[in-house]
DNA sequence: CCCTAGCACTCTCGTCTTACGAGTGCCAGT
DNA sequence: ACTGGCACTCGTAAGACGAGAGTGCTAGGG
């Protein structure tokens, strides 16, 4: 891949992000002092388009980046933009004087939403290492049973369920599969796994499985690390035209906290700030948005994820820098008390 | 006010609500078997318009109700629409199996949002009668002091503040005014009052007042009854065109929980379901919406507010019936345990 | 071989015109 | 007091049209 082509792609991405409209060959050479003529740029653009990095909304319009184009930009072209002094100060003053975990999370959401001017999502930190040691079931009579969740810390939680005559074998089988899937996971992870469990599991006894999974979800729901807080939703109104279809699916997703939990988990499993661009998102209603996520926290016993959702046409360098900075700061802040 | 004019107003409101477009004299007589000619209806409509109950978006369009028209409709014309069987069942199954207060509130929000297909707001119930007995201040040194909040239950909460050299008199004066304003109030009410306190209070020492009020707000923020939960935001996307300006102010308001708390409190002070239509709302960004609210709870020691926000063009009878039913049901539910 | 200049072509967008139709207000008549 | 008739207004949909932006292609130059 040509150096100049990369430069052109970078120019297209930055220009499109800031100008909000398709960018043509002429303005490109003007604004970015590429020392070639528009015609040359056009040739390169044709190649870039053929390779799927850019596209034109219609003939006789400029080019806009595709998801693949953004991806290349994020991976190889984006120069990390350091935070402004004002932003650094904002982070500090915003977090100073936070009272408790609740308050920290609330403030973090506001902070993220405010700086990035996008929708912010913050998962509650898991303060104690709550690892699942096992799922038990105790049949009380023909109709009722107990679902019991045991944590490695020794904590035990239970919930009664209706089993309506399911056989002992089915119950044992289900329990076995649940244990296989859940043991060793944190509450938050378990929540994510359960969100997909019903689809994967062979429906030997679909009703029973649903009931048990629901009970487990309710138990896990009591764990703070399965909670997420969303803020900055009004920022979506700046992009009402961007999302190809409508905002509705996006808004709906933002109320599905289990889904958000899963997406955050998927995205930020790999240490540093991670980006999911458009179609890369596994969750279909968000495929016209991008997710920038990171884990945060300090030490093994206190960590969780946070992130930002916005249009694919997003200022990735800034957003990524902000998410990273906030994640680090909040992590340190929690560590200190 | 003529009987027939009232009938016409009612017809206009119901038709406009269901059809979503201005309604003219012709369709009116057709759909509502008024035994008069369109011309007669037109005359009546002219009068109704003159009196401010309806208006036309432009010449040669039908009429739509004004806020005043909706008001009359709600006060005198709306026939309470009983809930459908499905809705009753939905309420019961939705609430059944709620685990704790958190869960009840969450479910209530979902329920309200789902049935009314609008944005639902639910305030946490104040489970214990937390009445404020007084605000104290203790000066530690020239720079620092303690703000102390005493509840009638005997509970005491405090927070350190920076006073940066404010005089003892100013502090005492401020304390006096705060006590006058807050004693006898519930935490939630106090929160509402504080939200407006800084504007009303003479700014003898504005900085000090801000610091103290902030501290109190933070203390009160720990009380569950000052929390509200919002749900069903995606429903707003059905009305993107309705709100004359944009959705942005509405979305922003929905994140200002203190404001929501105040609005709910104002609206539902009077026992039964209350409606605030458009400009009747004291909070300007919501003046293109209507708020349907009610208090809920059982007994003196457990009550709070809930409600629904939607476009002024709203099915008031249904919405009011739903809000009332949900409020009652949740109240009973809480009373039973 | 790569770049450039020139040119014809395509498509969107804004503007303008026009025709239509819904709905009104008013007046004269029952 | 109501109704039928009628002229009038005005928003909207549909078409026409020119301007402008941007492209792809081709032929020529370093």
Give the tens place of pLDDT for each residue, A4-43: 999 999 999 999 999 999 999 999 999 998 889 999 999 9
Yes or no, beta carbons of A231 and B255 under 8 Å apart: yes
For strand D, the positions having any atom within 7 A of a protein Cβ are 2-5, 8-11, 20-26
Contact A232, A254 (CB under 8 A): no
Q: Which of A121, A255, A256, A260 to mutate to test the interface with B (most CBs of B within 10 A)?
A: A255
Q: What is the Cα Rg of chain B in Å? A: 24
Chain A neighbors of B248, CB-CB under 8 A? 234, 237
What would the pLDDT profile of B7-41 be if each residue is shown by its tens digit?
Answer: 999 999 999 999 999 999 999 999 998 889 999 99
Calculate the alpha carbon distances from B140 to B144, B145, B209 in Å: 5, 5, 17
How open is the CA angle B96-A193-A118, to the nearest 5 degrees? Answer: 85
Please tell me which residue of chain A has the smallest CA distance to B241: A240
Q: Is the CB of B204 under 7 A from strand C?
A: no
| pLDDT of B244 | 58
B255 touches chain A (CB under 8 A): yes
What distance in Å separates the CA atoms of residue A331 and residue A245, rounded to the nearest whole number? 37
Q: Which residues of B touch A234 (CB under 8 A)?
A: 248, 251-252, 255
Which residue places its CA closest to the C1' of nucleotide C21?
B60
| Phi, psi (degrees; rounded to nearest 5) at B126 | -85, 105
- Asked if A233 lies within 8 A of B218 by C-beta distance, the reply is no
Q: Are B307 and B119 a contacting pair, CB within 8 Å?
A: no
Residue B303 pLDDT: 79
Check residue A250 and give its pLDDT: 94
CB contact under 8 Å between B251 and A233, yes or no, is: yes
Share of chain B above pLDDT 90, in %: 55
The pLDDT of residue B273 is: 92
Q: What is the pLDDT of residues B227-278, one digit of tens each?
A: 999 999 999 988 876 665 678 999 999 999 989 999 998 887 666 899 999 9
C-alpha span between B231 and B114 (Å, rounded): 9
Give distance CA A76 / C1' C14 (Å).
40
Of A231, A234, A248, the CB nearest to B234: A248
How far B248 CA sits from the closest chain A CA (Å)?
Answer: 6
Nearest to A254 by CA among A90, A121, A101, A111: A121
Partner B contacted by A246 (CB < 8 A): yes
The list of chain A residues with pLDDT below 50 reads none
CB contact under 8 A, B233 and A234: no
pTM here is 0.85
Q: Is B319 left (phi over 0), alpha (psi -120 to 50) or beta?
A: alpha
Band (B180; pLDDT cuts 50, 70, 90): very high
Contact A327, A306 (CB under 8 A): yes
Q: Which of A222, A240, A251 sits opposite B234 (nearest CB)?
A: A251
pLDDT of residue A188: 85
Read off the pLDDT band of B127 (50, 70, 90).
low
- The per-residue pLDDT for A270 is 67
CB pair distance less than 8 Å for A237 and B248: yes
Asked if residue B22 keeps its beta carbon closer than 7 A to nucleic acid strand C, the reply is yes
Please give the full DSSP string across B104-149, using - where no structure is assigned: HHHHHHHHHHHHHTSEEEEEPPB-S--BEEEEEEEE-SSSEEEEEE
Is A272 an 8 Å CB contact of chain B? no
Q: What is the pLDDT of residue B324?
A: 94
| Helices B316-336 and B101-116, packing angle to 10 deg | 160
Beta strands in chain B (DSSP E): 54-55, 64-65, 119-123, 132-139, 144-151, 156-162, 228-231, 274-277, 289-297, 303-311
Is residue B186 scored above 70 in pLDDT? Answer: yes
**For residue range B292-325, what is the model confidence (pLDDT) as tens digits?**
999 998 665 557 899 999 999 999 999 999 999 9
| The token pair that represents A85 in the structure block | 């002094």
Higher pLDDT, B49 or A164: B49
- Per-residue pLDDT for B97 more than 90? no
- Check residue A301 and give its pLDDT: 55
pLDDT in the model for residue B135: 92
Closest chain A C-alpha to B78 CA, distance in angstroms: 31
A and B: number of Cβ contacts within 8 A? 38
Q: Are A120 and A231 in contact (CB under 8 A)?
A: yes
Give residue A245's pLDDT. Answer: 67
The pair of three-digit structure tokens given for residue A113, joined into one six-digit string:
């939403």
Please provide residue A23's backbone torsions phi and psi, each rounded to the nearest 5 degrees. -115, 130
Q: For residue B96, give every residue at least 6 positions away whose Cβ sits within 8 Å of its Cβ, in sequence order, or none.
A: none
List of chain A residues whose C-beta atoms are within 8 Å of the C-beta of residue B103: 218, 221
Query: How many angstroms separate the CA of A61 from the C1' of C15?
Result: 21
Distance CA A148, CA A259 (A): 24
Query: What is residue B301's predicted lDDT score, i.e. its pLDDT?
Result: 55
A106 touches A295 (CB < 8 A)? no
* Side-chain-side CA neighbours of residue B86 (13 Å): 2
Give dist(CA B37, CA A312) in Å, integer.
57
User: Do B234 and A246 make contact, defined as CB atoms within 8 angstroms?
Assistant: no
Q: From the CA of A263 to the C1' of D25: give the distance in Å.
A: 47
**B60 near A CB under 8 A:** no
């Amino acid at each position: 891949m040509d150096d100049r082509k990369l430069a052109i792609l970078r120019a297209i991405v930055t220009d499109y992000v800031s100008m909000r409209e398709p960018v043509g060959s002429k303005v490109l050479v003007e604004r970015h002092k590429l020392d070639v003529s528009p015609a040359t740029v056009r040739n390169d653009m044709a190649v870039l388009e053929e390779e799927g990095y850019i596209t034109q909304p219609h003939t006789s319009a400029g080019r806009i980046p595709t998801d693949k184009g953004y991806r290349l930009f994020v991976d190889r072209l984006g120069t990390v933009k350091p935070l402004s002094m004002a932003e650094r100060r904002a982070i500090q003053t915003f977090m100073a004087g936070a009272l408790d975990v609740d308050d920290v999370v609330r403030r973090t959401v506001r902070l993220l939403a405010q700086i990035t001017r996008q929708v912010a999502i913050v998962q509650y930190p898991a303060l104690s290492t709550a690892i699942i040691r096992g799922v038990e079931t105790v049949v009380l009579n023909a109709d009722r049973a107990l679902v019991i969740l045991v944590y490695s810390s020794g904590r035990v939680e239970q919930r009664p369920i209706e089993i309506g005559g399911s056989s002992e074998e089915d119950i044992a089988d289900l329990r076995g599969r649940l244990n296989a899937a859940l043991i060793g996971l944190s509450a938050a992870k378990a929540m994510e796994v359960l969100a997909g469990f019903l689809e994967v599991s062979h429906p030997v006894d679909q009703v029973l499985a649903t009931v048990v999974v629901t009970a487990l979800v309710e138990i896990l729901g009591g764990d703070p690390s399965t909670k997420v807080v969303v803020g900055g939703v009004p920022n979506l109104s700046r992009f009402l035209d961007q999302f190809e279809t409508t905002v509705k699916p996006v808004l709906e997703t933002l109320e599905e906290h289990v889904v958000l939990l899963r997406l955050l988990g998927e995205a930020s499993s790999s240490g540093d700030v991670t980006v999911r661009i458009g179609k890369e998102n596994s969750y279909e209603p968000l495929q016209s948005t991008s997710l920038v996520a990171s884990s945060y926290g300090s030490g093994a016993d206190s960590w969780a994820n946070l992130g930002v959702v916005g249009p694919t046409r997003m200022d990735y360098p800034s957003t990524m820098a902000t998410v990273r900075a906030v994640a680090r700061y909040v992590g340190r802040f929690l560590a200190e008390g």
